[in-house]
Chain A
Amino acid sequence: MDKVKVIEIKKSVFADNDRDADSLRSELKSKGVYLLNLMSSPGSGKTTTLIRTINLLKDKLRIAVMEADIDSDVDAVKIKEATGIQSIQLHTGGMCHLDAEMTRQGLDNVMLEGVDLVILENVGNLVCPAEFDTGAVRNAMILSVPEGDDKPLKYPLMFSVCDLVIINKMDVLPYFNFDLEKCKEYVKMRNPRARVIPICALNGEGVEAFADWLLEEVTNWKQ
């Protein structure tokens, strides 16, 4: 038998992506562009929330949206029609997440001239997107009431990488066994610094708090 030679590597598979993400972040910093990575399960209300928020902010900030739907451009079209802002479709090639390289390729298709804020609607899933730094300044996620208040316990990584957790569909709270205080507690267990904002994207209640948070974040980033 041939002698086996062992070459030690000892390298995390996420290492290269982490480095790419850091360099994308510093490029965005020098251009004065804020990138938000928005994650959630499918159907939690990302598109509805974005339309409301963009309409509140579009006189104050120049905004663009990147939609990472796997096989349709429905959401990109919906956002463009409802808000009039620049909105593009990102192709994930069937992948369950976006990494920094795919995000950069997406940004190459955005006209960044004068844009203050780019929002990335990530692939709908609570596992894989959490493991890959996209190069965004902040991660945020939307949890909707019907999904249950124990999601932070079941998806610890997702909740530990998010600085903002939006709880959507508050209008249906009376019909579900969802304890908002308990949910906030679970979120803080994963990330003590996380903000929690309850909203109802359908009628717009609470969305202003999210818009204010974004405005402050973008202003700080551009300083």
Chain B
Amino acid sequence: MHELGIVFYIIRDVKQAAEQNGVEHVSAVVMNIGEVSTIVPEYLTDCWRWAADKEEMLKGCELKILTVPAITHCDSCGEQYPTVKFGKKCPHCGSDKTWLLQGNEVEIKEIEVT
């Protein structure tokens, strides 16, 4: 299960950041998740609930997910377009010399403490 593995990395990073900031309990973790990151947000939050509640510092801590839209840049015509709708081929000029500008993020944005 891919998402569960990811949750363990998030927990490790959050605990480390909390300790560095002298925080005893984290109430929410905000994630930037790219549209084409292969992460399924519902699975991620389910796995999070199960794993985070096992940690004293993260009991009841909410995982908030912000979706980062996937955008592809075309080298041939210089335009940008939504990746999910058009894929690899540029809808402006038909070229496939394109690359992903953003949208594969699996990033911890911030943590909230009360």
Residues of A bordering B, CB below 8 Å: 2-14, 16-17, 95-97, 127-128, 131, 153, 157, 189
Contacts of B109 in A (CB 8 A): 8-10
Cross-chain contact A2 with B114 (CB below 8 angstroms):
yes
Q: Nearest chain A CB to B14's CB is how many angstroms away?
A: 8
Cross-chain contact A16 with B12 (CB below 8 angstroms):
yes
Cross-chain contact B27 with A4 (CB below 8 angstroms):
yes
Contacts of B104 in A (CB 8 A): 157
Contacts of A7 in B (CB 8 A): 17, 21, 23, 110-113
Residues of B bordering A, CB below 8 Å: 1-2, 5-6, 9-10, 12-14, 17, 21, 23, 27-28, 38, 88, 96, 104-114
Q: Nearest chain A CB to B84's CB is how many angstroms away?
A: 13
Cross-chain contact B2 with A189 (CB below 8 angstroms):
no
Not counting A9-B14, A11-B108, a sample of 9 additional A-B residue pairs whose C-beta atoms are within 8 angstroms of each other reads A2-B114, A4-B27, A6-B112, A7-B110, A7-B112, A9-B109, A10-B108, A11-B17, A153-B88
Which residue of A2, A9, A189 contacts B111 across the interface (Cβ within 8 Å)? A9
Q: Nearest chain B CB to A162's CB is how many angstroms away?
A: 16
Docked complex Cα distance between A3 and B5 (Å): 32
A4, A9, A14 pick with most chain B CB within 10 angstroms: A9
Contacts of A96 in B (CB 8 A): 1-2, 5
Cross-chain contact A97 with B110 (CB below 8 angstroms):
no
Contacts of A14 in B (CB 8 A): 9, 106
Cross-chain contact B5 with A95 (CB below 8 angstroms):
yes
CB-nearest residue of chain A to B31: A13
Interface of A is mostly: mixed
Cross-chain contact A13 with B6 (CB below 8 angstroms):
yes
Cross-chain contact A5 with B112 (CB below 8 angstroms):
yes
Which residue of A3, A11, A189 contacts B114 across the interface (Cβ within 8 Å)? A3
CB-nearest residue of chain A to B9: A13
5 contacts between A and B (CB under 8 A): A4-B113, A7-B17, A7-B113, A11-B108, A189-B88
Q: Nearest chain A CB to B24's CB is how many angstroms away?
A: 12
Q: Nearest chain A CB to B35's CB is how many angstroms away?
A: 14
Cross-chain contact A11 with B113 (CB below 8 angstroms):
no
Contacts of A157 in B (CB 8 A): 38, 104
Contacts of B113 in A (CB 8 A): 4-5, 7
Which residue of A6, A9, A17, A95 contacts B17 across the interface (Cβ within 8 Å)? A9
Q: Nearest chain A CB to B61's CB is how many angstroms away?
A: 13
CB-nearest residue of chain B to A186: B88
Cross-chain contact A13 with B2 (CB below 8 angstroms):
no
Docked complex Cα distance between A129 and B95 (Å): 30
Cross-chain contact B38 with A9 (CB below 8 angstroms):
no
Cross-chain contact B106 with A127 (CB below 8 angstroms):
no
Docked complex Cα distance between A2 and B23 (Å): 15
Cross-chain contact B13 with A16 (CB below 8 angstroms):
yes
Contacts of B105 in A (CB 8 A): 12
Docked complex Cα distance between A157 and B34 (Å): 14
* With known contacts A2-B114, A4-B27, A13–B108 Cβ distance under 8 A: yes
Cross-chain contact B106 with A128 (CB below 8 angstroms):
no
Cross-chain contact A9 with B96 (CB below 8 angstroms):
no
Query: Nearest 6 A-B pairs (CB), nearest first?
Result: A2-B114, A13-B9, A9-B108, A8-B110, A128-B2, A13-B106
